[in-house]
Amino acid sequence: MKIYDWIVVGGGITGAAVSYELTKKGFAVLLLERDTAMQNATRFSYGGLAYWSGTTDLTRQLCTEGIDRHRNLSAELDADTEFRELDLLLTIDRGVDVEQVAANYAHFAIPPQLLSVAEAGELEPLLNKSAIAGALTVRHGHISPTATNQAYCQAFVRLGGTIEFAEVTGLISEGNRISGVKTVGENYACENAVICAGGWSRSLLKAAGISAGVYFTRAEILETPPVDLQLRTFVMPALLKRFELEAESSKIEVDFLWDEPGKELHPPILDAGAIRFNDGSLRIGQLSRTLSDLNAKVDRQTSEKAIRAGIGKVLPDVANLPATWHDCIVAFSADNLPVVGPIGDRPGLQVFSGLSNPLAIVPALAERFANRAAGEKDWAMAYAPLRYELLSPDRFAKK
């Protein structure tokens, strides 16, 4: 049996980037992905790169490194990631204190500019100006997540990496050490395994008796075919409810509910937003739920109606476009930071998951992950050393 240096579990944007970066370092890498046709959070992402949104030294550093990588990634991977920069429009509902909302963003690396209703309407002509009290705007990165994921995978294979489509069912142990990965049809041996399975990471780790502070929401969106409607900006609400949902659902006092079947930790929330991709299609959303079951069923018709009603308030012309409902599992962590690094008491096992702002920082963080795997010091990077202890899965270890 071939023994791989690394097995990467999960072929979304995180797993593809980590696989590519590890292979660049000369490691023999196997990437395991369940679905031949992507149905994950990468596939249904808005594709936004919030490189302006760092609020700490760590997150500002990762965002700066990340956008630098994105600006050159198409050339590096020899494939078009569809990278661009556009105006993000953060709408503020009528009746809300616009100055207070703007103050909430003052500590961001690049604070958004406050716009009047008229100025917001000039920036986005499709906007329903009667529904807002104002808006914030900032330049924002954007990619096609699918194209970027494919570009990483193709570059990975060109470097000698291997991709297998198989459902991972567990980890193989020799004592405490992880020595391989089990799938439905075959077992694979490795020196190291890294879990990059997004929201599915929690169940894989739990099956191995590991708690790493990774949770998940079920996100629901609508996707249109290419349309003639010209949405100029990326529209999102300035007061995002998703982060509050994540914070409330990962509090220690409700943590036990995640391990009980059929639980909904908090009522669903809707952050009404829309983005037009280069091919003319739109993604509209986002309704988020914290359900303890990965395979929980939801009423898609009710969800679609809620999403259309929400976006109809700010972008009436978008609300009735033909669209298909989709859902996916989105990972997040208990402290809003990535969960990246080794599991202290399980040699051979690492995690790369729980990223709330994944697309902006994945390229830089995956590069740093591979550098550390190769034993390289952070001073070899163009940027300052990273405080890896802030990202370690062990920060969530139960005392």
Here the tokens at position 259 are 């391990």
- What pLDDT does 37 receive? 79
203 has a pLDDT exceeding 50? yes
- What pLDDT does 399 receive? 41
Straight-line distance from the first to the last Cα atom of the chain, in angstroms, rounded to the nearest whole number: 39
CA angle 227, 230, 236 (to 5 degrees): 105
CA 289 to CA 268: how far, in whole Å? 5
pLDDT per residue as tens digits for the range 322-346: 999 999 999 999 898 999 999 988 9
- What pLDDT does 386 receive? 85
pLDDT per residue as tens digits for the range 42-99: 999 999 999 999 999 999 999 999 999 999 999 999 999 999 999 999 999 999 999 9
- What pLDDT does 304 receive? 97
Mean model confidence pLDDT for the chain: 94
- What pLDDT does 209 receive? 85
Domains and CATH numbers, the chain: 3-80+145-213+336-396 (3.50.50.60), 84-142+214-333 (3.30.9.10)
Residue pointed to by tokens 């494919």: 150
CA 4 to CA 190: how far, in whole Å? 4
379 has a pLDDT exceeding 70? no
pLDDT per residue as tens digits for the range 168-194: 999 999 999 999 999 998 999 999 999
CA 302 to CA 300: how far, in whole Å? 5
User: Which pTM value belongs to this model?
Assistant: 0.95
Q: Is 17 exposed, middle or buried (0-12, 13-18, 19+ CB in 10 A)?
A: buried
Query: DSSP 3-state assignment of 224?
Result: coil
Secondary structure element (H or E) that encloses residue 351, with its range: strand 349-353
Count the Cβ atoms, other than its own, within 10 Å of residue 384: 11
Pairing relationship of beta strands 29-33 and 162-165 according to DSSP bridges? parallel
pLDDT per residue as tens digits for the range 212-264: 889 999 999 999 999 999 999 999 999 999 999 999 999 989 999 999 999 99
- What pLDDT does 381 receive? 59
User: What does the pLDDT average to over 3-22?
Assistant: 97
Single-letter amino acid code for the residue at 399? K
- What pLDDT does 356 receive? 73
User: What does the pLDDT average to over 153-165?
Assistant: 97
